[in-house]
């Protein structure tokens, strides 16, 4: 495994890999867990060479405290990557290296995908994501780039980004990896108390029941039912539960048989914000 921190070094190493047929990229913000491990393993199995980036991107945080509290665990991350494969190149640049002296995101029009759910609750979030993902894709020029379906809205936005910027890369979406109680793996789970981490199974359980109800109940009935599950819970605050189609992420009006739908949820467990989603059909 090779750790690189500057764009110049990165270019030199990538140039020496030009003859390799297939390059895979797994962009991360570090604090790696089994969800990331599954992306890296998939990338390793599908490519001749893999680059993992570790960069806590400041422009995608609308909340300063959230950014400050974001866990930084480089040593453990490198160990996890090394255990998967010793041939991986890790690019872990500083903020200055990526943004030079202008820590600012570009402004994107993702055709409305950016205005709902995470975009509605986290100001400028997807401009920040678009900016860093575009920068990394242009710097590294992978054939394939891997993203988790836990951030399904992000995944669809990155697909749109690639279309808008005409980037020659295949975006690979990977299934959500869950803790034994169903809670979606996330770096934020580390910030939950043991009890809350256990109780947070309610998020996935609600989604599973929503899926069961989807065949017979209306979206409104299902959303109301989920709202009720969280209403009286002292430790949770439901931010949203929305059923949308997967392509445009618009709230469902009338179910159409040829369309795919998902339920999306965001919940505060005390001050820790958790998101999850499930395919309904
Ligand atoms: O999903 C993440 O970890 C981040 O949003 C990403 C894609 C690495 C961009 O900073």
DSSP string, 108-138: ---TTTTTSTHHHHSTTHHHHHHHHHHHHHH
- pLDDT surpasses 80 at 18: no
* Residue from 90, 147, 153, 186 whose mutation best tests the ligand 1 pocket (most atoms within 8 A of CB): 147
- What confidence category does residue 131 fall into, taking pLDDT thresholds of 50, 70 and 90? very high
Between CA 268 and CA 238 the distance in angstroms is 6
Nearest CA to ligand 1 atom 1: 28
Residue 69 contacts by C-beta under 8 Å, 6 or more apart in sequence? 191
Instruction: Tell whether ligand 1 has an atom less than 6 A from the beta carbon of residue 130.
Output: no
Active site residues: 36
Report the 10 Å Cβ neighbour count for 183: 22
Among the residue ranges 153-157, 204-208, 230-234, the one predicted with the least confidence is 230-234
Tell me: pLDDT of 15 over 90. no
- Ligand 1 proximity of 238 Cβ (cutoff 6 Å): no
Share of the chain above pLDDT 70, in %: 99
pLDDT reading at 231 higher than 90: yes
Query: Is the beta carbon of 84 within 6 A of some atom in ligand 1?
Result: no
Helix (H, G, I), strand (E, B) or coil at 23: strand
Q: How far is the CA of 158 from the centre of ligand 1 (A)?
A: 10
pLDDT digits (tens, 9 = 90+) for 62-101: 988 889 988 999 999 999 999 999 999 999 999 999 999 8
Write out the two tokens for 261: 């739908």
Cα–Cα separations (whole angstroms), residue 114 to 119, 249, 255, 259, 270: 5, 9, 23, 20, 26
From residue 11, give the alpha-carbon distance in Å to each of 99, 159, 184, 191, 250. Answer: 17, 25, 35, 36, 40
State residue 232's pLDDT score. 83
Instruction: Name which residue sits closest to atom 6 of ligand 1, judged by CA.
Output: 28
CB of 275 closer than 6 A to ligand 1? no
Supply the DSSP symbol for 175: P
Whose tokens are 């109780």? That residue is 199
Percent of the chain with pLDDT over 90: 86
Pairing label, strands 236-245, 261-269: antiparallel
Return the higher-pLDDT residue of 155 and 10: 155
Q: Which residue's alpha carbon is at the smallest distance from atom 9 of ligand 1?
A: 129
Q: Is 137 in the pocket of ligand 1 (CB under 6 A)?
A: no
194-223 confidence digits (pLDDT tens) = 999 999 999 999 999 999 999 999 999 999
The total number of residues shown for the chain amounts to 281
| Cβ-based burial of 178 (10 A; exposed 0-12, middle 13-18, buried ≥19) | middle
Q: 0.75 exceeded by the pTM?
A: yes
Whether residue 14 has pLDDT greater than 80: yes
For range 113-139, the mean pLDDT: 96
Ligand 1: nearest atom to the Cα of 133: 9
């Amino acid at each position: 495994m090779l750790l690189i921190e500057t764009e110049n070094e990165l270019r030199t190493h990538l140039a020496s890999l030009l003859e390799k047929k297939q390059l895979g990229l797994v962009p991360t913000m570090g604090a790696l867990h089994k969800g990331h491990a599954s992306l890296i393993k998939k990338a390793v199995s599908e490519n001749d060479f893999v680059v993992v980036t570790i960069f806590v991107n400041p422009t995608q945080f609308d909340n300063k405290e959230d950014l400050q509290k974001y866990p930084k665990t480089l040593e453990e991350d490198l160990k996890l990557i090394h255990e998967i494969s010793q041939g991986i190149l890790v690019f872990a640049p500083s903020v200055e290296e990526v943004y030079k002296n202008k820590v600012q995101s570009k402004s994107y029009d993702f055709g409305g995908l950016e205005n709902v759910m995470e975009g509605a609750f986290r100001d400028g979030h997807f401009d920040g994501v678009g900016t860093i993902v575009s920068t990394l894709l242009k710097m590294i020029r992978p054939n394939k780039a891997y993203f988790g379906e836990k951030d399904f809205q992000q995944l669809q936005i990155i697909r749109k980004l690639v279309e808008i910027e005409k980037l020659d890369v295949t975006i690979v979406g990977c299934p959500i990896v869950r803790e034994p109680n169903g809670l979606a793996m996330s770096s934020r789970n580390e910030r939950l108390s043991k009890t809350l981490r256990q109780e947070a199974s309610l998020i996935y359980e609600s989604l599973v029941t929503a899926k069961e109800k989807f065949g017979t109940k209306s979206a409104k009935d299902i959303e109301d039912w989920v709202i009720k599950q969280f209403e009286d819970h002292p430790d949770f605050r439901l931010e949203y539960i929305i059923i949308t189609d997967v392509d445009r992420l618009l709230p469902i009006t009338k179910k159409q048989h040829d369309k795919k739908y998902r339920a999306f949820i965001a919940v505060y467990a005390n001050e820790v914000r958790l998101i999850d989603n499930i395919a309904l059909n």
